[in-house]
Amino acid sequence: MAAPVPNRMFMLDIETTGIDPAHEDVLQVALVEMEFKTGQWVRGREFNLYQGTSRKPATKFAQEHMKEIYERCNREPRLPSDEVRARILKFCAECGAQPPNIFIAGWNAGIFDIPFLAHHGYIVPARYENDKLTGDVHYRIYEISGALQLVANVKGHNEINKMLKEAEKLSPKIEGSRHEAVFDCYRQIHLLNGLIQIL
């Protein structure tokens, strides 16, 4: 029997200078509190941290889509990892979530965001020690892209793409731009709500 999905969790998105945590920096960390009520995910408070870096956008993609984030991060102080972690945990506690029962959702949260943050010391992933769950975030990570891929294996990618387009049409217009972490969190919450309406 599948474990029930918690009715309160955090949508997570990060922006980075690249995909290899051993050689790249975190630019932005966003968490948006969300609660499932009245048949949809309702967003609550948000956490938005820009991390200082001296790096400049090196790829064409970064130059075209992330220039403003780099410029902002070039002006921000570089915070030590333990301070970033403390700020994340403080925000979650203010929302009523305590380690290790901080539940995370995100587009690629389990395969990218959480491992990247863990590598930099911004969070401690869940683990069992002496039959006790420890760490900051729960091991059960709700990954949107992975769930969609599993459905696509049955329904086909064209059908999934049609569903995603329909879900986006049902979503309210939000201000911002893709590859800005808070905007991406909002977009993912609205996409989930659109999929709930369709299904």
Q: Which domains does the chain have, with CATH numbers?
A: 8-144 (3.30.420.10)
Q: What is the pLDDT of residues 62-73, one digit of tens each?
A: 999 999 999 999
Cβ-based neighbours of 160, under 8 Å, separated by 6 or more: 148, 151, 152
* Residue 2 confidence (pLDDT) above 80: no
pLDDT range class, residue 142, cuts 50, 70, 90: very high
Percentage of the residues of the chain whose pLDDT score is greater than 70? 98
Model-level pTM? 0.93
Burial class (CB in 10 A: 0-12, 13-18, 19+), 174: exposed
Which of 39-48, 78-87, 173-182 shows the lowest mean pLDDT across its residues?
173-182
Q: Check residue 132 and give its pLDDT.
A: 92
**What's the whole-number mean pLDDT along residues 14-20?**
96
Token couple for 183: 């905007």
* pLDDT score at 37: 94
186: buried, middle or exposed (CB in 10 Å: 19+, 13-18, 0-12)?
buried
| Mean pLDDT within 11-20 | 97
Q: Residue 118 is which amino acid?
A: A
Element holding 140 (H helix, E strand): strand 137-143
Over 90: is that where the pLDDT of 174 sits? Answer: no
Q: Average pLDDT of 164-192?
A: 90
Residue appearing with tokens 């009520």: 37
Q: Are strands 8-16 and 26-37 parallel, antiparallel or unpaired?
A: antiparallel
Give tens-digit pLDDT for 98-129: 999 999 999 999 999 999 999 999 999 999 98
The answer on pLDDT for 45 being more than 70 is yes
With H, G, I as helix, E, B as strand and everything else as coil, classify residue 153.
helix
How high is the mean pLDDT of the chain?
93
